[in-house]
Homo-oligomer: A and B are copies of this chain.
């Protein structure tokens, strides 16, 4: 991350890389898919629906996505506390793009065993 951010957009690779950064981390997609369709979830609901995740990771990924403008956080000041998470409009707009990626992944041809993809030329 020694690269400074130029106003000039740089290569397409740079921009896609930046886009993928919004999705990096092992858990963001899991969280995202529980929020698609306008679903509103409490912290503890997300925690329970993704048993393998630790609170640290859950809060960390949520915070990042919130900072990125993907997730909205609503705090209800009451006891006990209640915090709800949902997607922003931009976050919802991610869905089709993920579908495109999903579609691509599904067209993956079966690999011919043994030869990988290397071609030997004499």
Contacts and interface: CB of A to CB of B under 8 A. Distances in A.
A29 B35 CA distance: 28
A97 interface: yes
Contacts of A109: 69, 90
| Copies of this polypeptide in the complex | 2
B73 A15 contact: no
A118 B29 contact: no
A69 B32 CA distance: 28
Interface residues of A, number: 52
A100 B101 contact: yes
Contacts of A93: 104, 107
Contact of A101 (B16, B105, B111): B16
A15 B106 contact: yes
A6 interface: no
